[in-house]
Structure 1
Amino acid sequence: MSTSAVHPAVHAEGIVKRFGPTVALDGVRLTVAPGESHALVGRNGAGKSTLVSVLTGLHKADAGTVAFGGEPAPAFGDTAAWQSKVACVYQKSMVVPELTVAENLFLNRFEAGGQGRGFISWRRLRRRAEELLAEYGVSADPTARAKDLAVEQRQFVEIARALSFGARLIILDEPTAQLDARGIDRLFDKLRELQSQGVAFLFISHHLQEVYELCTAVTVYRDARHVLTAPVAGLAKGDLVTAMTGEATSTVTAWHAAASTVRDAAPVLRTEGLALDGQFDPLDLEVRPGEVLGLAGAAASGNTALGETLAGLRKPTAGRITVRDRTVRPGSVPHALDAGIGYVPEDRHIQGLVHDRSVAENATLTVADQLGPWGTVLPSRTREFAQSMITSLDIKTQGPQQKVSGLSGGNQQKVVIARALARRPSVLVAVRPTAGVDVKSKDSLLGVVRRVADEGRAAVIISDELDDLRVCDRVLALFHGRVVATYGTGWTDRELVAAMEGVGERA
């Protein structure tokens, strides 16, 4: 009997990882058997991503051991050795879109197909690609460019590439996030086929019903600690959600917003039949003065795409948006701004900030037309405007001229919110507004959002973070582009997580 048949595909024990004062993993463990699909689940911040970085050799654990097939993990930094043990297929495809399938399969290994020093035999490379794809039953043309493949085909190419290095453990990080139902079925069929060949999969997903469909075992992390490992068969979905949240069925969250909505007032924001093909189904929304509406959903729920559509970053395929009865031009950011929609993007580093510019410049990007006559921007007026925002939002900075890159994460996020509020919008749309900030900053940021509504305007929070959603007067849970549940202020962590994960009661 082979070693790989006797020993686990991977066994991690007592893994500790710290980043400064933050304990990202606190003595966790994980065991995945050969030919097994093993789920790793947990809320954001549970430690899943950090464990993946340790298992793939990207980070070195501060304590604990990792073994593949009964052999100690390779030395840290030995990339080739790690590639022969494990690979991760991420939600965002890592294939090079302009290269062919064959070129992606043997990227940085072209010399293996050559017929002489310094030369590449493209014919031999394509033949080896055909053999590799056939070995693992992947239907893809080696000469096709990766960008022309379906999403699940690109994933198959990544899996085949990983297996060609000798890896027998594949980590799948949110693999279904960009797939439709048929694509998910094709992916799962291929995974089961590879499992029968002894390939092991570590499946990370926010969609718990997929865990029950694909996996035989599940491990739960919570707050950087191991909570549960159990066979999927026989594990009630409610018990799995309880393990993830730490909240029993009868427990009610300690604090929720007290609704201050003006129920008989005309909606500030309204959508009618708003839809975006492949992202979310037709949706009718009404957000009234004084209301904070939460749109809760995990990856691929469509809630982020909905927020981007409201802000004009995406053009809907159907429906209309109105702000105080004014129709918003579809797919137009300037028109959305003029109509009264303020927007806080999901990623402040990529979408929210110009890092080499000052606090003042970042905070006033949306009001440049108000900072001087005849299209000019007066530095004195820019500083004055920015200082008022700094004071209003309590932004900790050396002054308006400080580069935004020098601020803490929480204060950077306040600058992003300051810019969204600079035009005094009728409705603030905020996507994961407290991502990557400390607890004190989180409370302050959510207080700002609450204040917008309390002033008689409205706000929409789009998030999968439960703390973000506690400030909301009403929460809609989205799953695969559809509203599956609606809650007032009395929801529990357990029921909202279950709805977001697709295992709760339907609306």
Structure 2
Amino acid sequence: MERELLFEAKKLTKHFGPTVALDNVDFKVYRGEITGLIGENGSGKSTITSIAAGMQPATSGEMFFKGQPHKPSTMIEGAACGIGMIVQEQGTVSGISVAQNIFLGNEKKFTRFGIVNKKAMNAEAKKALDAIGFEGVDPSTPIDSLNMQDRKLVEIAKTVYQQPEMLVVDETTTALSQKGRDIIYGIMKKMKEENKAVVFISHDLEELMVTCDTLTVLRDGELITTLSKKEMNEDDIKKYMVGREMQGDYYRSDYGTPVSDEVVLKMEDVTTGTGMLMNFSMELHKGEILGIGGLSHCGMHELGRALFGEEKILEGKVTDMKTGDEITSPRCALLHGYGYVSKNRDQEALVLAESIKDNILAAGYDKLEKGIYLSPKDCTDYVNKQKEALSIKCYSITQDVQYLSGGNKQKVVFGKWVGRDCDILILDCPTRGVDIGVKAAMYQLIYQMKKQGKSIVIISEELQELIGMSDRLLILKNGNQSGEFFRSEDLSENEIINVMI
């Protein structure tokens, strides 16, 4: 059976100042297929799909959709043509309701004589939410009252409601629990069965190899190869991505390494204002990598925020054991040598309109001050050290963070706290949206910090990450601890899943 071409890009090129994000790329998407896109951070994956969806214009080249020239100037125009995109970052708008987000730009559907019929809009929004299996949410609820995952599900409902013929899923699964991922996988399968098309961007090789019919690899803005299902091989794909064989261990390879008895951080009987943690207690030891996992709404992300003084605590306390001081605010945590990488990087971890340099320096000024003097050279050297260590792709450290790829933004957040040389690091989904090469570098850096006596909390929705890196692993369920596991070669995902559900 002959494949039917739905979308085609010819010699597509995109420049951001002196940076070449795409370099004469030819790319095809066929009906009835899930096309995977993979590559290192900054390889051009999100750039090519965002141009197709109308988020930004190309510098040169041409596109065709359903055999016709395609040049949308906005995402609304792109959606009207039949291309929907679930973006990697937050795709909802604060200050309005769930329903208003779903129909943003299409309010006229419910408007008569200049008045919006909110009851009708809410009813239709509920249909959109129910259609993807996201039930139990009142469409009139303010979007800001939802957590990051639920906001992403609202965005998915909005995109699917528009019934696109080509759906772009950009690194979305990394922001979702298993339930959310199952919703996405179901949508992609349904679109394939309906002879529509999906472009699926992910850094998870196993996920791509299981889900996709073809896989296109980009590197440094160039298309390297496109593989059929039977041609997909994990080692080959990694080599195509990075242009070399991957060297060294991915996760830690040591077992049986003792952890100090010294407790550096203690949480006692903590109940948070959101109700996501209930009388929760835990200890973190010197030189320990403590993993925290669980399903969505288990309280693990609130736990990270509470440890850093970011979450309101109704009862109980968090204590820095070295000083005996209670951690009551982020400033207090900072002064005690703590660092925190938030899962919600664009809203909580970065100032998007500021430079890479300013973002990394934000947590390090007190380390560089010499009395009242701050050496410009010391500042530049401090930032460049993190840029090189984490391979942040940019044309200059003065480049605004908002123009970086999602993975490179994550590297900036990581560098901000690693550069500060924190004694205690709380990492909430630290490798979200980061390619396999940089993940390996981050894991090695985390392990080196452990060996230096630093204490690290890794909160993650990736069980393999937790198993591969943790000395000890706590599983949360409904705001309480439901399981505890110690580092072992025999520890399996099934054992952990049994106490998660």
Is the structural similarity TM-score above 0.5?
yes
CA distance in 2 between partners of 1:436 and 1:139 (Å): 31
Does the Cα contact within 8 Å between 1:314 and 1:331 map onto a contact in 2?
A: no
Query: SS state of the match for residue 5, structure 2?
Result: coil
Structure 1 residue 485: deviation in Å?
1.2
Deviation of 1:73 (Å): 0.6
Provide the residue aligned with 1:239 in structure 2. 236
Aligned to 1:94: 92
Amino acid of the structure 2 residue aligned with 1:340: G
SS of match in other structure, 1:206: coil
**Residue type at the aligned position of 1:227:** I
Q: Does residue 222 of structure 1 match 2:196?
A: no
User: d(CA) in 2 for partners of 1:11 and 1:314?
Assistant: 47
Task: State the Cα RMSD in Å.
Answer: 5.8
**1:288-315 alpha-carbon deviations (Å, 9 max, x no partner):** 4xx9x899x9xx9x99988655533247
Q: Does 1:80 align with 2:61?
A: no
Aligned in 2, Cα 1:100/1:334: closer, same or farther, shift over 3 Å?
A: closer
2: distance between equivalents of 1:200 and 1:8? 10
2:139 maps to which of 140, 144, 158: 144
Cα deviations by residue, 1:111-130 (Å, 9 ceiling, x for unpaired): 344566x4556676678x38
Is the 8 Å Cα contact of residues 34 and 200 (structure 2) preserved in structure 1? yes
Mapped partners of 1:274, 1:107: distance in 2: 43
Task: Report the 3-state secondary structure (helix = DSSP H, G, I; strand = E; otherwise coil) of the residue aligned with 1:240.
Answer: helix
Residue 61 of structure 1 aligns to a residue whose secondary structure is coil
Mapping for residues 14-413 of structure 1, pairs under 5 Å: 14-74=11-71, 76=73, 80=77, 83-91=80-88, 92-94=90-92, 98-99=96-97, 101=99, 103-114=100-111, 118-120=114-116, 129=124, 133=128, 144-145=139-140, 147=143, 150=150, 153-163=153-163, 167-233=164-230, 235-248=232-245, 251-252=247-248, 269=264, 286-288=285-287, 308=305, 310-314=307-311, 323=320, 325-326=322-323, 329=326, 332-341=329-338, 351=349, 385-388=371-374, 392-393=378-379, 409=397
Equivalent residue number for residue 252 of structure 2: none
Using the TM superposition, name which of 326-335 and 211-220 deviates more. Answer: 326-335
Cα distance in 2 for partners of 1:186, 1:310 equals 31
Deviations 1:411-459 (A, max 9, x none): 999xxxxxxxxxxxxxxxxx9785299xxxx8xx89955xx48xxx677
Distance 1:153 1:348 in 2: 18
Q: How many matched pairs?
A: 415
Contact 2:86-2:170 at 8 Å conserved across structures: yes
CA distance in 1, matches of 2:187, 2:132: 8
* 3-state DSSP of counterpart to 2:56: coil
Q: Which amino acid aligns with 1:24?
A: A
Tell me which amino acid in the other structure corresponds to 1:42: G
Counterpart Cα distance in 2 of 1:140 and 1:436: 34
* Structure 2 SS opposite 1:484: helix
Query: Quick check: 1:29–1:226 contact (8 Å CA) kept in 2?
Result: yes
What letter matches 2:59 in structure 1?
D
Cα pair 1:85 1:169 within 8 Å, conserved: yes
Counterpart among 485, 489, 492 of residue 468 in structure 2: 485
1:13–1:29 Cα contact (<8 Å) kept: yes
| Unpaired segments ≥5 residues, structure 2 | 250-257, 384-395, 402-407, 451-455, 472-491, 497-501
Closer/same/farther in 2, CA of residues 159 and 363 from structure 1, 3 Å limit: closer
Deviation at 1:40, TM superposition (A): 1.4
Q: Which moved more, 1:345-354 or 1:304-313?
A: 345-354
Closer, same or farther: CA 161–388 of 1 in aligned 2, 3 Å: same
SS in 2 for 1:39: strand
Q: Return the alpha-carbon distance in structure 2 between the equivalents of residues 61 and 126 of structure 1.
A: 37
Contact 1:88 1:172 in 2 (8 A): yes
Structure 1 gap segments, 5+ residues each? 254-262, 368-381, 398-407, 414-430, 489-504
Counterpart of 1:65 in structure 2: which amino acid? E
**How far off its partner does 1:27 sit?**
2.5
**1:461-492 deviation digits (Å, cap 9, x = unpaired):** 8554355565555379875254121499xxxx
Q: 1: CA distance between counterparts of 2:240 and 2:349?
A: 34
Q: What is the percent sequence identity of the aligned residues?
A: 20
Contact 2:9–2:27 (Cα < 8 Å) also in 1: yes
Under a length normalisation based on structure 1, what TM-score does the superposition of the two structures give?
0.60
Q: Check conservation: 1:42, 1:220, Cα contact below 8 A.
A: yes
Judge conservation of contact 1:16–1:64 (CA < 8 Å) in 2: yes
* Bigger Cα Rg: 1
